[in-house]
Each structure stands twice: as C-alpha cells, then as structure tokens.
C-alpha cells in the first residue's frame, strides 16, 4: 500500500515524462510482487513464511533493480520486467495448488467453511494477475494513464484483501496440532493390519457411544480436534478412520449426521427450515440448503412438502 501511495505522490513526475525517474519508481513498485507472493502463500499455508523465504523472494528484485539504477541499462530493465511477469505467473500456479491443498485440509478438519475457506482468494489472485500484466505493459511503455489505472486497481485489491483477512479465522492451532500428532505417530512403531482392524473396530464403537449418541455433531463450528477429544483419540487416527473405514472426510461426515437430524425434525416439528438448519449446527442456511440438495436431490422445502403430501395420503388410506 505504501508503494502505491508513493506512486501517487510522484505522479507529477510521471507527467513530466522523466523516463529514468519513472523507471526507478517502477523498480521499487515491482517489489509488490514478492510482497503479494508472501502474503498469498502464508494465507494458503500458515507457518510457511520465514526470514530466509522472505530474503530469497525479494533478493532478485533488489539485485536487478539496483543494477538498473546504477547502470541505467535498458536491457537490465527489460530483464527485470520479464522476471516480474515470470515470477507472477509462477506464483499464481503455485498458489492455486496451495489453495486446493488448504481447502482439502479444511474438509478434513472443519465442519464449516464460513470465514475459514479461501474461495475469495481465487478472485484476488485473478485480479493481481491482470494487474501484473497491465503493470508490465505500463512499465515497458512509460504511460502515465496506465500507471494510474494500475495504482488504483492495486489499492482496491489490497483493500479487499484487508477486508477478507480481517474476517478470516486462524487455522494455525488445528494445523500445528495435526502436524505434531503426525510427527509423534511417525516416531512410534508401525502397527500391523490386524492391529489396525481391531483398533478401528474399537474406534467405531467409541464414535457411536461418545460422539453420535450424545449428538455432539450439533455443535456449530465443530473441528476434528473437538471430535477426537470427545472420542478419546487423536486427529491422525480419527482422520484415518474417516478416510479408510467410512470413506469420507470430517466435513461430509458431520454434515451428513446433521442433515439426518434435520430430516427427523422436519417431519416431527413445525419449526421453520431456517430454524432447523441453525439447531442442527449449520452456520448458514445456504450451506444447509446446498448440503441437503446434494444428499436428497431436492431442496429442504421441496422435501418437506413431499413428506407432508405422503403423510396426508397415508392418513387418508388409513381412514378408508
């Protein structure tokens, strides 16, 4: 943000068409690329950011920019622009992979997506990719209008990032606890298949007794760690149980139980569907409706209407 304010302050210099000064400011502005990269990667992979990583990302821009400022070589400046574009494309590809991996982690550890998923980051990533191309063109042709468009777009994009980050829930604790448990299990002796089968059979009974029976799945914002604590095991074993025995993930498993609970309430109570969605643990009606349609192939209201018609016909038959 400070870099863009810097560009706005010196905009009169752009209008004076001082090519060398314009390019110096451009070399400074290009360090926004590693700044954006570090932010995106830390969001997708919490704990990724280290001092060594920061230095390695900024160093090429500092070296190329410094070399141009010292030499005023047009060739060095064009190399810097080419590297800027290549770096941006590489970061975009890697970020898409890490977003996918992050979302998979959420499905395995969270029963909700609100304020923890990074779907909004796809739009931000696309915006920055477009801005990067615009800026590369502007930097090559030294156009004041293009620079203004880039600066304005960047300020808006950074404002959106700040807005979403403010709402974002940290996953660091769940992520660290999971890594610690996996490391602990790696250091233990490997168990054989028979031991695994016996363990998972016992775990299945514990899940039914300590998690399903007391209906703990109704708790909003439920995490895998909460379920593991209630059952008396760790996240690693519980995740393996869900994946290998039930062939599902934590998100689908918990919300599947919630949907079944909602169906029972829809037939046995007169609560509104929105109220039922809240009671069974969904943080938003849209998520409940989407999950319900995926399970039953129809909306909750359509399901309730069909159920009412079926019950009414059964009663008529009983009277006859």
Domain coordinates in residue numbering, the chain: 2-170, 173-319
pLDDT at 160: 78
- Indicate yes or no: pTM above 0.85: no
pLDDT at 191: 44
If we measure between CA atoms, which residue out of 206, 258, 199, 202 comes closest to residue 229?
206
Rounded CA separation 19/186 (Å)? 59
pLDDT at 192: 46
- Rounded to 10°, the helix 119-141/19-29 angle is 160
If we measure between CA atoms, which residue out of 202, 203, 181, 200 comes closest to residue 192?
200
| CATH number for region 173-319 | 1.10.10.60
Q: Which residues of the chain have pLDDT under 70?
A: 1-18, 142-150, 179-196, 309-320
pLDDT at 199: 77
């Amino acid at each position: 943000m400070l870099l863009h304010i810097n560009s706005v302050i010196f905009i009169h210099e752009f209008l004076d068409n001082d090519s060398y000064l314009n390019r110096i400011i451009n070399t400074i502005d290009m360090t926004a690329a590693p700044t954006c990269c570090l932010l995106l990667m830390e969001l997708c992979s919490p704990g990724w950011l280290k001092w060594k990583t920061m230095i390695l990302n900024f160093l090429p821009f500092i070296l190329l920019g410094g070399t141009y400022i010292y030499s005023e070589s047009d060739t060095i400046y064009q190399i810097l622009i080419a590297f800027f574009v290549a770096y941006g494309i590489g970061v975009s590809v890697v970020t898409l992979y890490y977003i996918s991996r992050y979302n998979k982690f959420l499905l395995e550890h969270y029963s909700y997506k609100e304020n923890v998923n990074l779907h909004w980051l796809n739009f931000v990533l696309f915006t920055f990719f477009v801005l990067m191309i615009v800026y590369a063109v502007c930097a090559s042709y030294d156009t004041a209008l293009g620079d203004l468009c880039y600066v304005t777009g960047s300020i808006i994009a950074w404002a959106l990032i700040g807005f979403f980050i403010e709402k974002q829930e940290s996953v660091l604790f769940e992520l660290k606890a999971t890594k610690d448990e996996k490391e602990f299990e790696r250091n233990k002796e490997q168990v054989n298949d028979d031991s695994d089968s016996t363990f998972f059979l016992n775990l299945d009974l514990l899940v039914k007794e300590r998690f399903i029976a007391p209906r703990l799945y109704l708790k909003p914002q439920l995490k895998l760690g909460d379920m593991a604590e209630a059952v008396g095991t760790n996240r690693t074993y519980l995740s393996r149980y869900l994946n290998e025995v039930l062939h599902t993930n934590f998100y689908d498993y918990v919300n599947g139980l919630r949907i079944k609970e909602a169906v029972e309430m829809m037939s046995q109570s007169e609560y509104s569907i929105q109220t039922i969605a809240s009671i069974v643990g969904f943080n938003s009606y849209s998520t409940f409706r989407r999950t319900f349609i995926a399970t039953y192939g129809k909306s909750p209201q359509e399901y309730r209407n069909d159920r009412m018609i079926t019950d009414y016909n059964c009663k008529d038959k009983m009277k006859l």
